[in-house]
Amino acid sequence: AQKVTQAQTEISVVEKEDVTLDCVYETRDTTYYLFWYKQPPSGELVFLIRRNSFDEQNEISGRYSWNFQKSTSSFNFTITASQVVDSAVYFCALPSNTGKLIFGQGTTLQVKP
């Protein structure tokens, strides 16, 4: 069965600190994709990134970076120089072979000024 685990329920940092959100997944598929979504206080889930299992290179987008390691079944997300606007719930998700998303429990990030 497919599963996503985000062990960190809540993280609190002070602005400008770096923070890493962990995601561990389980799948028997040899080819798969992983997603990260952000859910700000307004409630709407916002797509951040998609990675496929063939590409283990780190991805960087501005202050965001993602580290995908197949050997440990992890797809971690780092925010560099965090800002108050980064405060949100972050979800890691794994699509099934029918396309539905299997979400982790989410990590609530609070960035204090």
Partner 1 sequence: DTGVSQDPRHKITKRGQNVTFRCDPISEHNRLYWYRQTLGQGPEFLTYFQNEAQLEKSRLLSDRFSAERPKGSFSTLEIQRTEQGDSAMYLCASSLGGSPYEQYFGPGTRLTVT
Residues that bind partner 1 (CB under 8 A): 4, 32-33, 35, 37, 42-47, 50, 52, 91, 93, 95-106
Comparison of 50 and 70: residue with beta carbon closer to partner 1: 50
Whether residue 93 contacts residue 4, with contact meaning beta carbons closer than 8 Å, is answered with: yes
Comparison of 44 and 57: residue with beta carbon closer to partner 1: 44
Distance CA 86, CA 40 (A): 8
Comparison of 31 and 71: residue with beta carbon closer to partner 1: 31
Whether residue 49 contacts residue 61, with contact meaning beta carbons closer than 8 Å, is answered with: yes
